[in-house]
Amino acid sequence: MAIWKHELRLLLRSRMASIALVLLGVLSIAAVAAGMAEIARQRAAIEAVAAAQAEDVGAIATFVDREKDAGSAAYYTFHPTWDMPAPLAFAAIGMRDVAPYILRVRALGLEAQIYDGDTFNPELALPGRFDFAFVLVFLAPLFVIALFHDLKSGEREAGRARMLGALPGARRLWLRRGLLRLALLLAALAVPFVVGAVLSGVAAWAILLVVAVTGAYLLFWIGLAGLVTRLGHGSTANAATLAGSWLVLVLVIPTLANVVINRAIPVDEGAKIALAQRENVHHAWEIPREDTMRRFYASHPEWANSPPLPEAFHYKWYFAFHQNGDESVAGRVRAYRHGLERRAATADALGWLLPSVGVQALLTRLADTDLAAQLAYQDRIRAFHHRLRDFYYAYIFRDRPFARADFAKAPRFGAGGGER
């Protein structure tokens, strides 16, 4: 134990080492705090949805109750959906920074509502919000370089290498110094994370797994530093080589890989799907209403015995061509989703070769903030929207009056992201 204390004192005498460890700890604390603050903000926004929804529905119910028109109720009423963040989301915010986690939908065409403003490319882990994952993946390697680039070369340049090599247990000396640096780096990263995770209610197994991944990622960079040191160059050359390796492995190759993956697996933009759906919906105004209803009843025979359309405007025709519009782009939606999943799978495979990509992908998967989590949220929205349509269609296609009390019967998106 005395030897370890002695090594710790020697390490902390180095101003650069002390500053590096303190700075890494401060960055870790700041990242965890920033992540927790962002997730708290998102949770507060989700929790505020219920009160805002009640106010909106109250205002709509007042004028709908006069005419008892179910079509007006379906047209004007927005229904909130949300994706409640997982406890670990603070550590890797992922797609929650670029994709909606609250979406208010109507019983009209859904695809345009889902894909409005869809301009992100979530296929590959790249620099994002300042959170724990960012500090670990992009910044921690620089601190490994700072503490390990001169582990042996520094002693050689100071003229102590031969003497240390002649001592009994010289190998244990270098191993002890390496383990001490690893432990301090891991503590600077893991302690703030563990505190944040405990406060956020993260499961113990998830905490241990993230700490293990953190240690493994640090070991990769320590191993790389060891390989560079074995070349026998000076400390400055070691630092330059390792910094170049960081630039290539963490920034250059992942960015180039992102470009290659995007070109190899072309995917339509979600905004184009929304535009196509809207064009099909608008086209319905230019064709006979009977053609629209015939197409709708062919795919939804359960409503085929609805009374004939009157001469005046009727909402069942309006909702029918909105649903036809959704179905007209269903193939493009499936292709779009399949393309995104292929891109994500390719990026995940790249993670086996590039630890920076693999670690970030693993953290976002554990935090439920990756592409799979976003697509799962969209699936829940679609399932909820299907229930909304069935609910309103039972009034609209049966010409049933819709009163104030009927608003309370509408399906509701359940707490925690599910349905009820």
Reported confidence tier of residue 124, pLDDT bands at 50, 70, 90: very low
Query: Pick from 144, 25, 142, 138: which is nearest to 92 by CA?
Result: 138
d(CA 142, CA 270): 37
The per-residue pLDDT for 417 is: 41
For residues 373 and 155, the answer to whether their CB atoms sit within 8 Å is no
d(CA 219, CA 204): 23
171-175, 364-368, 370-374: the lowest-pLDDT one:
171-175
pLDDT at 378 over 70: yes
Q: What is the mean pLDDT of residues 35-47?
A: 96
The per-residue pLDDT for 16 is: 85
d(CA 321, CA 294): 10
The per-residue pLDDT for 7 is: 66
Single pTM value for the model: 0.89
DSSP structure string for 263-306: HHS----HHHHHHHHHHHHHHGGGS-HHHHHHHHHHH-GGGTTS
Structural domain boundaries, residue 370:
1-420
Reported confidence tier of residue 229, pLDDT bands at 50, 70, 90: confident
Q: What is the mean pLDDT of residues 340-350?
A: 93
The per-residue pLDDT for 231 is: 82
pLDDT at 140 over 80: yes
Tally the domains of the chain. Answer: 1
Torsion of CA 27, 32, 33, 36, to 10 degrees: 160
Reported confidence tier of residue 15, pLDDT bands at 50, 70, 90: confident
Q: What is the mean pLDDT of residues 337-358?
A: 94
Q: Which residues contact 209 (CB under 8 A, 6 or more apart)?
A: 366
pLDDT at 156 over 80: no
DSSP structure string for 79-99: EEEE-PPPGGGGT--GGGGTS
The per-residue pLDDT for 171 is: 62
pLDDT at 159 over 60: no
Reported confidence tier of residue 93, pLDDT bands at 50, 70, 90: very high
d(CA 369, CA 380): 15
Q: How high does pLDDT run on average in the chain?
A: 88
For residues 406 and 73, the answer to whether their CB atoms sit within 8 Å is yes
